[in-house]
Amino acid sequence: MANLQRVYVWELPVRLYHWVNALCVTVLAVTGFMIGRPFFPHIGGEAWQNYSFGWVRFVHFTAAFVFFFNFLGRIYWGFVGNEHARWHQFLPFGKGRLRRQAKEIGQVLRVDVLLAKDESIESVGHNALAGVTYFATFLVFLFQSLTGFGMYAAMSDAKLPRLFAWIVPLMGGDFAVRQWHHVFMWFFVVFSMVHVYLVFYHDYVEGRGVISSMAGGWKFVEKPKP
């Protein structure tokens, strides 16, 4: 393995974003599910004796604000960060990027999903398919933020949620907004399963340190042939 060299791929803000986001999404999905379908044990007593469901909602709303600003931070970093963090990793426009992207998506599908024996994938950071998938997650982040704050606006005087109040009439009322907000929670569940599996898979098959790259930022790539 001597012909590998290490490359600094994920800068600190990207790593920080990743873990804050992972934490927020987990908390939001769990608390969100509890709000949508309360399953925690019946505590009993009188209503004045506890505020359990209120706390679940409080945690959900707090995590939502952290999630939202973390997301904004990542968008900002997409314009000032390094090559691997840039926006064109997700939206491959210009300079033949789109063609290269399409070609690599085909490669990734063959190698990772159909488990073809070989072909190496050029990308050091996100591979092409991952880039597109993450862009899709950004759209879902946006949708969850819009619908979440849209519902929150009705019970808040804060300025930020009020900016999203228009989504409720657009979707035809709170019920529809709530329903779709709930449906997309499942996207996060399925995404997380596949995402975590694929990271393990790549680390296992390629041995390029994908898992630890999100902790220290370093990946290993083959040295260019002399």
Partner 1 sequence: MTKRPLSVWEHAQLKGYSRREFVQFCTWLAAAAGIEASAVGQVVHALETKARVPVVWFHFQECTCCSESFIRSSHPIVADILIDLISLDYTETLMAASGHQAEAALHESMTKHQGEYLMLVEGSVPTADGGVYCCIGGRTARDILVEAAAGAKAIVAWGSCASNGCIQAARPNPTDATPIHELVSGKPIINVPGCPPIGEVMAGTIVHLLTFGRIPQLDGLGRPLAFYSRRVHDTCYRRPNYDAGLFVESFDDENAKRGYCLYKVGCRGPVTYNACGVMRWNAGVSYPIQSGHGCIGCSEANFWDNGPFYQHLAGFPGFGIETTADDIGVAVGAATAAGIAVHAVTTNIRKRKLLEVRNEPAGPAPSAGEKR
When the beta carbons of 39 and 93 are compared against partner 1, the nearer one is: 39
Which residues have C-beta within 8 Å of that of residue 46, sequence separation ≥ 6? Answer: none
Q: How far apart are CA 226 and CA 220, in angstroms?
A: 17
Contact (Cβ atoms closer than 8 angstroms) between residue 197 and residue 188: no
Residue 173 found at the interface with partner 1 (CB under 8 A): yes
Q: Which CB, 96 or 118, lies closer to partner 1?
A: 118
Q: Is 185 in the site for partner 1 (CB under 8 A)?
A: yes
Q: With binding defined as CB under 8 A, does residue 165 bind partner 1?
A: yes
* In the complex, least distance from residue 225 CB atom to partner 1, rounded to whole angstroms: 8
Number of residues that bind partner 1 (CB under 8 A): 54
Residue from 118, 157, 159, 226 touching partner 1 (CB under 8 A): that is: 118
- What is the nearest approach in angstroms of partner 1 to the Cβ of residue 132? 18
Distance CA 104, CA 116 (A): 14
Q: Which of 8, 19, 76, 201 binds partner 1 (CB under 8 A)?
A: 201
Q: Identify the sign of the CA torsion 73, 75, 81, 85.
A: positive
Question: Under rule CB under 8 A, which residues in 41-60 are in contact with partner 1?
Answer: 42-54, 56
Told to check if 172 binds partner 1 by CB under 8 A, we report yes
- Interface residue with partner 1 among 75, 142, 193, 215 (CB under 8 A) is 193
- Please state, in angstroms and rounded to a whole number, the distance separating the CA atoms of residues 129 and 73: 23
As a whole number of angstroms, the distance between CA 223 and CA 226 comes to 8
CB of 50 to partner 1, least distance (A): 5
Residue number with CB closer to partner 1 (12 or 183): 183
**Nearest Cα to 168, choosing from 152, 188, 183?**
152
- Cβ closest to partner 1, residue 29 vs residue 132: 29
Interface residues with partner 1 (CB under 8 A) are: 1, 3-4, 36-38, 40, 42-54, 56, 113, 115, 117-120, 154-155, 165-166, 168-169, 172-176, 178-179, 182-183, 185-186, 189-190, 193-194, 197, 201, 204-205, 207, 222
